[in-house]
Every structure is written in structure tokens, then in C-alpha cells.
Amino acid sequence: MSGGIDSSATCIMLQEQGYEVVGVTMRTWDVPSKFSTPGQTEPDDVLEARALAGKLGIEHHVADVREEFKEVIVKHFIDEYMKGRTPNPCVMCNPLFKERILCEWADQTNCAHISTGHYCRLEEHNGHLYIIAGDDMTKDQSYFLWKLPQEILRRFIFPLGTYTKQEVREYLRQKGFETKAQGGESMEICFIEGDYRDFLRSQCPDIDTKIGPGWFVDNKGLKIGQHKGFPYYTIGQRKGLEIALGRPAYVLRINAEKNTVMLGDAEELKTEYMLVEDYQITDMQELMQCKDLAVRIRYRSKPIPCRVAVLDEKHLLVRFYSEASAIAPGQSAVFYDGRRVLGGAFIASQRGIRKIAADNQDKL
């Protein structure tokens, strides 16, 4: 229970369906804006969730996991940027943290199932449970859940999968929670307010002396200007480069070892192939035989038709069949058959991708 619109509606729906509900609110990171009253000792989301639990007459617990969250999720977020990659903290948080802790609390409180306010649903196929994209494609969160294992999915209930956000708001109004229904959206990354660069500086005060300025280079490796340090840039970035080249420039590659950032034009961001690593596929045979296979390479991006070749136990080679651009190492590549999630992987370094593709043409 985050205290927000979606988890609140989920609690009410589950009660109406006859479930005995126990609420758990995770206190993960104390964002200053969540303390709206002077002297407040707990963030607003904890207070709102507790108040809702009281109105619904359900048992409520607060899991103070701030230290563990910092050591697992925030550390991974920082480490990825320090490697020149663009992290997906929500993808890591779901299997390594949020759902694991929910399962632990479910066991402690003798609950058979766990539930969240994610906009998606589940469907069984050939003995496996699959995540299905939510009906509201503007709120669909299936992209973030690809790493959830079968044993956790089999405990899950997703009540909001067939609702739009507007329908959820209207549902809360009908149940007498007008103020809750008018609530705002949650932050995309729950522990960051504003620019992630400021967050990096706050958590790594020596980042500007430890890494410091480096060179912008062109696609031939020639120096064309100075930048503030490679962690402050992401693949595909155009704004905020603070360099005048007389034409639009985009970040093509980041070299953390040399502290260089390669710039080029939009055309140079396009690619026909992508290398991914650490994949988790529900049924590899189904993935390989899927006639309508598509992959999303970032949250809210449209699925791109593709084919996949297995290179080894860690890597897959993806061939795109329509335009793909700005492949960012560290982001998730999530594979779909229509609205059904077949699995996912992390986008690997694309260094040498042309040779890798040429060497594996027979597999694609």
C-alpha cells in the first residue's frame, strides 16, 4: 500500500471480491516532499496508507526497509551510471526487493496471495503464467515486471489490469473516496526528485573530483569539446549537452574507462541489431518460434518487430524489422507476443555489434 490511487483501489476491489486484506507499506526512501507537515516523523504515503487501512478495517504494517533499499536498489542505480550505463531501478526493485518483501510479509501474516496496483494481468499458457499488458496502454507496467519468477507470479493478483486510470479514479469516487480519486501521479523513480544528476552528486559528493570533465569526441574519436563527466549523459540525449556544433548532436556512445562521450547525428543512433544479456525467458522455444515477436527497448516505447538468436547462456542477438534507435546499455529489452510478455533481458554494450551480427547471420 503506497497510499496512492492505484494501491487504494486495489485494496477496496480485493475486499469486494471477498478477500481478507492485510496491507503492507514499504518505507524505502524518505523524499523531502513527502513530509508535508513540520515535525512529521513518517512520510505522507505511510500516513495515507494507514488512514485508508483504518477506514477499510484492515490490518496494516509498515516495513522499514530504508537501509536495505539503499544498499540494493540505490547502490545498483549509482553503480550503473558509474559504468556508463542507463539503469532501470524499477525492473531491479520488483524481483530483488518489493515482491520478495511482500512474499515474506505474506508468509508472516498467513496470506496466500500478494497484490499490487500494477496495470497488468496474468494469463496461463502451456503450463506457464505470463504477464499481460494492461488495457490502459498509457499506464501499462508490464515492462517493469519481466524478471518476476513463476513462483512469485503464482501468488499474484492484479485487479487493475482491465481498468483505465480514469476508470480507477471513477471507481474510487463511487466508493466515497473523492479526495483520493483526485490524487496526483507517483514519481517515475520513487527515490529521485528532479534531475538524476543532482541525486548522483548528493550520494557521491566526490563524483566531480573523482571523475571530472572529459572529452566529447566524434565518430572518428577526434576531440570536439569538453563535457562534465560521463555519468551525466545517456544514449540518445540531445538537450543539455552545452556544446555548439552548428547542428543537432546526440549522444551515441559512452566510454566510462576513457571518460569520453561520442556525439553524432540522429541517423547514427539507428541500428538493425542489438545485443542483450542476462536474459530471462519463460519458454525459449516459444520465443524463437513466435511469428509476431516484438521488443520494447525502453518504457513507453512502441514494441519493435524482431527476431532473436541465442548466442550463449548469457547473450541474445536481436534483429529489428523496423526502425530502432538509441540503444542504451543497462535498459531493459522486453519481448512481447502481442500483449503477452515472453521475457526480457538487459541491453548489453553494443561495442562490436556489426561484427557480432555478421558472424551470426545464419541464425537470423
| Per-residue confidence in pLDDT tens, the chain, 364 aa | 998 999 999 999 999 999 999 999 999 999 999 999 999 999 999 999 999 999 999 999 999 999 999 999 999 999 999 999 999 999 999 888 999 999 999 999 999 999 999 999 999 999 999 999 999 999 999 999 999 999 999 999 999 999 999 999 999 999 999 999 998 887 779 999 989 999 999 999 999 999 999 999 999 999 999 999 999 999 999 999 999 999 999 999 999 999 999 999 999 999 999 999 999 999 999 999 999 999 999 998 999 999 999 999 999 999 999 999 999 999 999 999 999 999 999 999 999 999 999 999 999 9
Question: Catalytic site residue 11?
Answer: no
Other beta carbons within 10 Å of 41: 8
Query: What's the structural domain count of the chain?
Result: 3
Q: Do 113 and 174 belong to one domain?
A: yes
Q: How far apart are CA 361 and CA 355, in angstroms?
A: 10
Q: Do 33 and 136 belong to one domain?
A: yes
> What range does the domain containing 47 cover?
5-181
Is position 203 within any domain? Answer: no
Of the candidates 162, 181, 200, which is a domain's last residue? 181
Q: Do 24 and 155 belong to one domain?
A: yes
Q: Do 60 and 32 belong to one domain?
A: yes
- Choose the catalytic residue: 11, 90, 111, 190: 190
Question: Catalytic site residue 204?
Answer: no
Helices (H) and strands (E) counted in the chain, each on its own, are: 13, 16
CATH code of 331's domain: 2.40.30.10
Q: Do 91 and 232 belong to one domain?
A: no
Is position 244 within any domain? Answer: yes
Q: How far apart are CA 330 and CA 87, in angstroms?
A: 5
CATH code of 217's domain: 2.30.30.280
Is position 13 within any domain? Answer: yes
Q: Do 257 and 274 belong to one domain?
A: no
Name the packing angle between helices 165-174 and 5-16 (round to 10°): 60
Is position 188 within any domain? Answer: no
Q: Do 14 and 139 belong to one domain?
A: yes
Is residue 117 marked as binding?
A: yes
CATH code of 77's domain: 3.40.50.620
Of the candidates 264, 291, 325, which is a domain's last residue? 264
What's the pLDDT score for residue 185?
Answer: 81
Q: Is 272 left (phi over 0), alpha (psi -120 to 50) or beta?
A: alpha
pTM score of the predicted model: 0.95
Is position 199 within any domain? Answer: no
Is position 190 within any domain? Answer: no
- DSSP letters for 102-161: HHHHHHHTT-S-EE---SEEEEEETTEEEEEE-S-TTT--GGGGTT--HHHHTTEE-TTT
Q: What is the H or E stretch that residue 261 is in?
A: strand 260-264
Is residue 262 marked as binding?
A: no
Q: What is the H or E stretch that residue 99 is in?
A: helix 99-108
Q: How far apart are CA 101 and CA 97, in angstroms?
A: 6
Q: Do 283 and 312 belong to one domain?
A: yes
Other beta carbons within 10 Å of 40: 12
Other beta carbons within 10 Å of 194: 9
Q: Do 321 and 282 belong to one domain?
A: yes
Q: Do 14 and 102 belong to one domain?
A: yes
What's the pLDDT score for residue 148?
Answer: 96
Q: How far apart are CA 86 and CA 78, in angstroms?
A: 10
Are 66 and 120 a contacting pair, CB within 8 Å? no
Q: Do 41 and 155 belong to one domain?
A: yes
Of the candidates 181, 203, 229, which is a domain's last residue? 181
Q: Do 155 and 55 belong to one domain?
A: yes
Is position 294 within any domain? Answer: yes
- Choose the catalytic residue: 90, 93, 120, 290: 93
Is position 54 within any domain? Answer: yes
